[in-house]
């Protein structure tokens, strides 16, 4: 007999999740369907009604915050402490197991856990000791490769015996992996991927340990199962495959973390992994109005790889989602902020409003507009635009050119990007500057007089000093935009970051492009107001004011700015999804396959389902890239939808959407088609002779970044001539 409060608090489907405890259960929980409540009540039912001791339960979440919430709500429901309950993230729970079972492992129970900075520091040391080329083998890329191997439970010895010897690059990466792993063990340290890898391999190889934990964890519950990777799957499979009492909760329509190694296969094929699986769909939504859910359902139905679900609600239909097109990204930001002000005037708190975008770089124009409107905001899951590393580095270059006494700015950029000026040389420069009581910038000018510096160090310092002095001369005479473009181009940062397969590196390139756009925008306004081009010394105070976030820190009621990825798991009264354009959403780096397009569509779906009452979608007709504008195509995801789902401005037929397209690499290119390469000279009827700086795509469909006498433009391949 169920307690009365169970029936009062749960719907019929949720009750099924709670009470069917002896079979493998796949809970397909749509957005806002009360999955957390279902998990908590299932645990309460096992403890109170089935008399299962708390330590016999294993509850796995993806954040420590979620784990804490589960435990606190369970304690409140049962009225007793749950100190013996195993609840936590995969990493926290596996770490406990490794410390308990260290006798079976090549490290002791007091091992250290290295974060990303420690990993990079260790790799830099290994590169230096063993002569690896950091230019050819980028540390971020190598770390990403190592993480991928560990996700597949592969150690260096598993790989080195079988790799093709002719692949020299792969051989180098595997040797780095071998040395890296050896050094970790010498240091009695693990990285985060190691925690999962060693737990999975221990459970696979040691029957006694495996049976011990199978006997302990009689009931297993996994939240956000769609976000599990191969290693996490194996850990759960090893623990649950004996008794089969495993309940996984997730939503394949919210699977958006493949770039972290998450495998959609785990939730789609759960029924193949266990015997007698029962699937339960939670489709009643407690969050959003009917019209918002209608849009969400219409979006996600275009995905093929999914469990079919249809969200519904007992809430009234509410307002239709708004669909708006603006002139450019500045107009979009300003108009969205006006809508925010209107909502706030009607009584909605700022903290109940969110602006969602695909990439971090898109936050800048909204930050500027919000500041001008004096609306407090906070960025969730990310840094403020001008606080991001690559932006701060560039600002430190500018600060050094304007103020030679700014030692901190100089020290930040003296070897950023790497130019062979090591810490020993830096320490000698600092010592000389202190001894002679001059700035470090002045010490650079006198480097030949510093006896402790070797000839190689003096040469590299001299080259850097010459570069700084050249830029300083330009900065004293030229507009800020020209100075910034010169530094960015001569450092080669954008092209460097774009070469990486690491999404974080690609984001850095986008942020730098957005920074140049911000200088261009500032310059236009400054020139209008002051009738002259701004210098760097004019731009820096503007940025300093932009980075003053005191208002946000003091004000609890602040609007939320975040990427769509960071919005997962959150909810707001009003949501604005901006930048719904091709190459933003779907992102240009995620258009090479149907699978990638479907994940981008899931990301859009996640954004839509964050909204409770108010939802607005928008795009810009043109967008600034570097210091020029290009025409933006509306997202193909809008084109898939019936315009009757939207609230449109009077007389507006809706966005004319881009056709759905998946960018497919061409394996065979006809001889009549054009080929483009970086450095190639081309001719444009309007701009004249130019040089290609980057190529995105192939043949006439390629999107080219071209320098025309120092002026950059983004042009499709069919608009330029290669023979002239």
Residue among 101, 191, 223, 521 flagged as catalytic:
223
Q: What is the pLDDT of residue 553?
A: 42
Q: What is the pLDDT of residue 711?
A: 62
Report whether the peptide linkage leading into residue 206 is cis, meaning its omega lies within 30 degrees of zero.
no
Is residue 562 over pLDDT 70?
A: yes
Is residue 555 over pLDDT 50?
A: no
Strand ranges (E), 72-127: 86-89, 112-114
Q: Is 36 a catalytic residue?
A: yes
* Tokens found for residue 264: 């959609």
Please provide the average confidence, as pLDDT, over all residues in the chain.
85
Q: What is the pLDDT of residue 554?
A: 41
pLDDT tens sequence across 286-325:
999 999 999 999 999 999 999 999 999 998 999 999 999 9
Q: What is the pLDDT of residue 54?
A: 92
Q: Is 14 a catalytic residue?
A: no
- Enumerate residues 6+ apart whose C-beta is below 8 A from 63: 89
What phi, psi does 642 have (nearest 5°)?
-75, 130
Q: Are 604 and 577 in contact (CB under 8 A)?
A: yes
Q: What distances in angstroms separate CA 192 from CA 125, 224, 504, one per listed residue?
A: 20, 19, 18
Q: What is the pLDDT of residue 556?
A: 67
* Cα–Cα distance, 10 to 90 (Å, whole number): 28
Q: Which range among 53-62, 210-219, 322-331, 446-455 shows the weakest confidence by mean pLDDT?
A: 446-455
Q: Which range among 152-161, 277-286, 341-350 shows the weakest confidence by mean pLDDT?
A: 152-161
Q: What is the pLDDT of residue 449?
A: 85
Q: Is 314 a catalytic residue?
A: no
Q: Which range among 209-213, 500-504, 557-561 shows the weakest confidence by mean pLDDT?
A: 500-504
Residue among 610, 613, 623, 624 flagged as catalytic:
610
Between CA 200 and CA 209, with CA 206 as vertex, the angle to 5 degrees is 85
Residue among 19, 36, 183, 680 flagged as catalytic:
36
Angle, helix 536-546 to helix 389-402, in steps of 10 degrees: 140
Is residue 154 over pLDDT 70?
A: yes
Q: Are 516 and 627 in contact (CB under 8 A)?
A: yes
Mean pLDDT of the 137-159 span: 91
* Tokens found for residue 86: 């195993």
pLDDT tens sequence across 1-28:
566 667 778 889 999 999 999 999 999 9
Residue among 61, 254, 289, 609 flagged as catalytic:
254
- Check residues 405 and 341 and name the one with the higher pLDDT: 341
Q: Which range among 324-338, 596-610, 638-652 shows the weakest confidence by mean pLDDT?
A: 638-652
Q: What is the pLDDT of residue 343?
A: 97
User: How much of the chain exceeds pLDDT 90, in percent?
Assistant: 42
> Residues 166-203, buried b or exposed e (16+ Cβ, 10 A)?
eeeeeebbbebbebbbeebeeeebbbbbbbbbbbbbbb
Residue among 191, 193, 194, 224 flagged as catalytic:
224
Q: Which pTM value belongs to this model? A: 0.74
Q: What is the pLDDT of residue 6?
A: 72
Q: Are 233 and 102 in contact (CB under 8 A)?
A: no
Q: Is 35 a catalytic residue?
A: yes
Q: What is the pLDDT of residue 666?
A: 39
* Cα–Cα distance, 474 to 133 (Å, whole number): 33
Q: Is 254 a catalytic residue?
A: yes
Residue among 13, 35, 42, 508 flagged as catalytic:
35
Q: Is 514 a catalytic residue?
A: no
Q: Which of 469-473, 498-502, 681-685 has the highest mean pLDDT?
A: 469-473
- Check residues 264 and 8 and name the one with the higher pLDDT: 264
Strand ranges (E), 232-344: 246-250, 278-282, 322-328
> Residues 117-134, buried b or exposed e (16+ Cβ, 10 A)?
eebeebbeebbeeeebee
């Amino acid at each position: 007999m169920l307690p009365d409060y169970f029936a009062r608090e749960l719907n019929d489907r949720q009750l099924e999740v709670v009470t069917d405890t002896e079979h493998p259960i796949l809970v397909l929980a749509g957005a806002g369907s009360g999955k957390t409540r279902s998990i908590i009540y299932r645990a309460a039912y096992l403890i109170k009604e089935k008399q299962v001791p708390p330590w016999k339960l294993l509850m796995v979440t993806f954040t420590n915050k979620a784990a804490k919430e589960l435990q606190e709500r369970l304690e409140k429901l049962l009225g007793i402490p749950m100190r013996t309950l195993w609840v936590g993230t995969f990493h926290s729970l596996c770490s406990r197991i490794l410390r308990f079972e260290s006798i079976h492992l090549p490290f002791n129970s007091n091992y250290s856990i290295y974060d990303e900075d420690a990993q990079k520091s260790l790799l830099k040391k290994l590169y230096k000791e063993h002569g690896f080329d950091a230019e050819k083998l980028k540390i971020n890329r190598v770390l990403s490769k190592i993480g991928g191997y560990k996700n597949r439970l592969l150690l260096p010895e598993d790989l080195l015996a079988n790799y093709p010897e002719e692949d020299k690059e792969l051989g180098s990466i595997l040797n780095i992996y071998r040395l890296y792993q050896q050094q970790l063990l010498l240091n009695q340290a693990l990285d985060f991927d190691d925690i999962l890898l060693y737990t999975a391999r221990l459970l696979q190889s040691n029957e006694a340990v495996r049976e011990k934990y199978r006997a302990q964890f009689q009931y297993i519950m996994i939240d956000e199962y769609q976000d599990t990777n191969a290693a996490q799957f194996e850990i759960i499979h090893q623990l649950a495959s004996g008794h089969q009492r495993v309940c996984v909760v997730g939503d394949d329509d919210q699977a958006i973390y493949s770039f972290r190694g998450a495998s959609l296969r785990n939730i789609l094929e759960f029924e193949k992994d266990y015997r007698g699986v029962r699937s339960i769909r939670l489709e009643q939504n407690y969050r959003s109005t009917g019209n918002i859910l209608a849009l969400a359902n219409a979006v996600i139905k275009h995905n093929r790889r999914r469990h079919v679900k249809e969200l519904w609600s007992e809430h009234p239909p509410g307002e239709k989602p708004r669909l708006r097109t603006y002139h450019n990204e500045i107009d979009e930001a300003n108009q969205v902020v006006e809508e925010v002000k209107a909502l706030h005037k009607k009584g909605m708190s700022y903290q109940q409003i969110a602006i969602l975008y695909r990439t971090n770089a898109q936050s800048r124009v909204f930050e500027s507009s919000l500041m001008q409107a004096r609306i407090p905001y906070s960025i969730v899951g990310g840094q403020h635009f001008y606080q991001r590393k690559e932006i701060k580095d560039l600002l430190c270059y500018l600060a050094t050119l304007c103020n030679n006494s700014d030692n901190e700015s100089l020290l930040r950029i003296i070897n950023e990007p790497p130019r062979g000026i090591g810490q020993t040389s830096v320490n000698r420069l600092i010592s000389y500057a202190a001894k002679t009581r001059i700035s470090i910038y002045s010490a650079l000018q006198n480097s030949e007089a510093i006896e402790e510096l070797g000839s190689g160090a003096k040469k590299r310092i001299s080259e850097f000093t010459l570069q700084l002095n050249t830029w300083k001369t330009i900065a004293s005479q030229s507009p800020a935009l020209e100075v910034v473009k010169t530094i960015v181009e001569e450092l080669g940062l954008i092209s460097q970051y774009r070469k990486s397969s690491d999404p974080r590196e690609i984001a850095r390139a986008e942020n730098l492009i957005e920074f140049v756009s911000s200088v261009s925008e500032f310059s236009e306004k400054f020139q209008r107001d002051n009738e002259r081009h701004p210098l760097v010394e004019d731009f820096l105070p503007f940025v300093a004011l932009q980075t003053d976030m005191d208002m946000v820190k003091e004000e609890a009621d602040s609007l939320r700015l975040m990427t769509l990825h960071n919005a997962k798991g959150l909810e707001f009264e009003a949501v604005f999804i901006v930048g719904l354009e091709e190459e933003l959403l779907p992102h240009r780096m995620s258009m090479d396959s149907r699978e990638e397009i479907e994940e981008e569509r899931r990301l859009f779906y996640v954004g839509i389902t964050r909204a409770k009452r108010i939802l607005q979608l928008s795009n810009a007709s043109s967008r600034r890239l570097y210091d020029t504008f290009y025409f933006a195509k509306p997202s193909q995801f809008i084109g898939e939808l019936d315009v009757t789902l939207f609230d449109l401005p009077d007389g507006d037929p809706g966005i004319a959407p881009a056709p759905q397209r998946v960018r497919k690499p061409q394996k065979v290119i006809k001889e009549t088609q054009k080929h483009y390469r970086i450095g190639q000279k081309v001719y444009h009827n309007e701009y004249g002779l130019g040089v290609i700086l980057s190529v995105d795509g192939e043949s006439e469909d390629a999107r080219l970044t071209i320098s025309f006498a120092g002026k950059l433009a983004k042009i499709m391949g069919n608009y330029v001539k290669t023979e002239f």
